[in-house]
Amino acid sequence: MENELKQLIIDALDLEDISVDDIDSHEPLFNTGLGLDSIDALELGLAIRKKYDVKIDAEKDDVAKIFASVSSLAAYIESVRR
């Protein structure tokens, strides 16, 4: 799941020079770490909705926690898909 998610991040966000192995599951996705920004967050939200039919609601969910890392994102998607 985590590797699948990494590939989704690379494809959805056009991270041409980055491979799945370059992304640490536990490092921050935004600002530091991978260095993504707020437009990436929207794009990634859309990609996750399309692929997993999981909607992350900025009003209800703790978005910062969910998007903290690949690991937290994978855990959240698996918990709501069940």
Partner 1 sequence: MTTEPPVAPASVPKMLQRRLSLLAKAVFHAADRCIKAGEQVPTVFSSTHGEIGKSFQMLKTIGAGEELSPTAFSLGVHNAISGLFSIVYGNRQEITVLAPGREGMAAAFIEAAGMLSEGRDEVLLVLYDEALPDFFPFAPFRLNADAPCALALKIAAAGPGLALRFCRSPEARDDGEQPVQLLALARFLVSSDESLILGNPGHSWSWHKR
In this structure, the number of other CB atoms found within 10 A of the CB of residue 10 comes to 17
Spatial distance between the Cα atoms of 82 and 28, rounded to a whole number of angstroms? 25
Q: Which of 26, 50, 65, 81 binds partner 1 (CB under 8 A)?
A: 50
Residues 43 and 78: beta-carbon distance below 8 Å: no
Q: At its nearest, how many Å lie between partner 1 and the CB of residue 35?
A: 6
Q: Which two tokens stand for residue 31?
A: 């600002």
61 lines the binding site for partner 1 (CB under 8 A) = no
Query: Which residues, 2 to 21, sit near partner 1 by CB under 8 A?
Result: 13-17
Binding site for partner 1 (CB under 8 A): 13-17, 35, 37, 39-40, 42-43, 46, 49-50
